[in-house]
Homo-oligomer: A and B are copies of this chain.
Amino acid sequence: MSATHFQLDAQGRLQHFLTIEGLTCRHLTEILDIAESLHGVAERRVKKLPTLHGKTVVNLFFEASTRTRTTFELAAKRLSADVLTLNIATSSAVKGESLLDTLRNIEAMQCDMFVVRHSQSGAAEFIARHVKPHIAVLNAGDGRHAHPTQAMLDVFTIRRHKPDFPSLRVAIVGDILHSRVARSLIHALSILGTGDIRVIAPRTLLPAQVENLGVRVFHHLPEGLRDVDVVVMLRLQRERMEGALLPSEQEFFQQYGLTEERLALAHPDAIVMHPGPINRGVEIDSRVADGPRSVILEQVTNGIAVRMAIMSITLGHHARPVGEEV
């Protein structure tokens, strides 16, 4: 069984949510439709549903990320789950316990879902392969590999503005090489049948054979932006500057920063996205980030509904036998 199909059960239903690769348009559309119905919950006076009442969701963060952890914690709480946050890096490592022993112990505490963030690619899948069958594992970012919930909130945000994927032109701009966000988003856009997916980046920030992902490659920003409906700016990891990959932040902004002038080359209705946190003046000008075409904060809001949807779907496929209920 390949890694990409491991997250599905025998009926092809999502048991875990590890990667966008290998999913079908039907899987993605189910998530988007349920997220749409949950989106209204946050607008209500009482922002909670009883869906996961009595369930325990464990945040296993091996890599710090307040923002991502917070959105998962809120999503779980709005579904009435109990949430436990374990910063594994600083806890069990102290007593020299192995990752698998830590996992075994947490699952023995009768938890229902692990949300995993790790700096190593494949960590979430490794955990999913080793937990008990009743536990759902969600990948909240693993190394350079994947960040599938981010990709789903991105396509959810796109669909709310531009629902016809086959006619869409989407440009992803910046450090594609190190970006798990870009990788997952390209897969999601492909599966949904997006007509034209472009990546715009210097050669040093592109993975080898990136064309094989079904994208068109541009090295010149104005050329790549022409007529696009969606511009996705990636965060420039400042630590890359240290190495030889990039000259300087100023020079990067000069060539790949999104300004109002450059955005004018896109379709007049184009929306601007960014996974956050943004580096103002590095990959994006403040007037664009805060301007009328930006949907960056909508992405954050949508992230809650999308994660609630994914939690509901995967745990729904792990239901216990009915005879044991209260």
Interface residues of A (CB under 8 A from B): 40, 42-48, 53-56, 64, 66-67, 70-71, 73-74, 77-78, 82, 84, 86, 91-92, 94-98, 101, 104-106, 108-110, 238, 276-280, 297-298, 300-301, 303-304, 319-320, 322, 324-326
**How many angstroms between the C-alpha atoms of A319 and B45 in the bound complex?**
8
A73 CB contacts on chain B under 8 angstroms? 84
- Top 6 closest pairs, chain A to chain B, by CB: A46-B54, A108-B300, A66-B91, A42-B110, A97-B277, A108-B297
What residues of chain B lie closer than 8 Å to A108, measured between beta carbons? Answer: 297-298, 300-301
**10 pairs from A and B in contact (CB 8 Å cutoff):** A42-B110, A46-B53, A47-B55, A70-B109, A95-B277, A96-B238, A97-B278, A104-B297, A105-B300, A108-B298
A322 to B104, CA, bound (A): 43
- Do B64 and A74 touch across chains, with their CB atoms under 8 A apart? no
Residues of B within 8 A of A64 (CB): 91, 94
Closest to A74 in B: B109
Copies of this chain in the oligomer: 3
Report the minimal beta-carbon distance from A73 to chain B, rounded to whole angstroms: 7
Instruction: Select one of B67, B238, B301 contacting A92, CB under 8 A.
Output: B67
Question: What CA separation (Å) do A298 and B104 show in the bound complex?
Answer: 10
Known A-B contacts A74-B56, A297-B108, A301-B109; the reply to A44 vs B325 at CB < 8 A is yes
Bound together, the chains give a CA A298 to CA B109 distance in angstroms of: 9
Query: What residue of chain B has the Cβ atom nearest to residue A47's Cβ?
Result: B54
Q: Is the CB of B101 within 8 A of A277?
A: yes
Contacts of A55 in B (CB 8 A): 47
Which of B40, B43, B82 makes the CB contact (< 8 A) with A74?
A: B82
Inter-chain contacts of A106 with B (CB < 8 A): 70
Residues of B close to A44: CB separation below 8 A: 54, 320, 324-326
Chain B CB count within 10 A is highest, among A104, A109, A297, for A109
Choose one: B67, B86, B104, B278; the contact of A70 (CB below 8 Å). B86
Instruction: Flag if B92 contacts A66 (CB, 8 Å).
Output: yes
| Chain B residue, CB-CB nearest to A320 | B45
B109 touches A276 (CB 8 A): no
CA–CA, A303 and B108, complex, Å: 10
**Most B-side CB within 10 Å, residue of A98, A279, A300, A322:** A300
Complex: chain B residue closest to A54, CB-CB: B46
Q: Are B46 and A326 in contact (CB under 8 A)?
A: yes
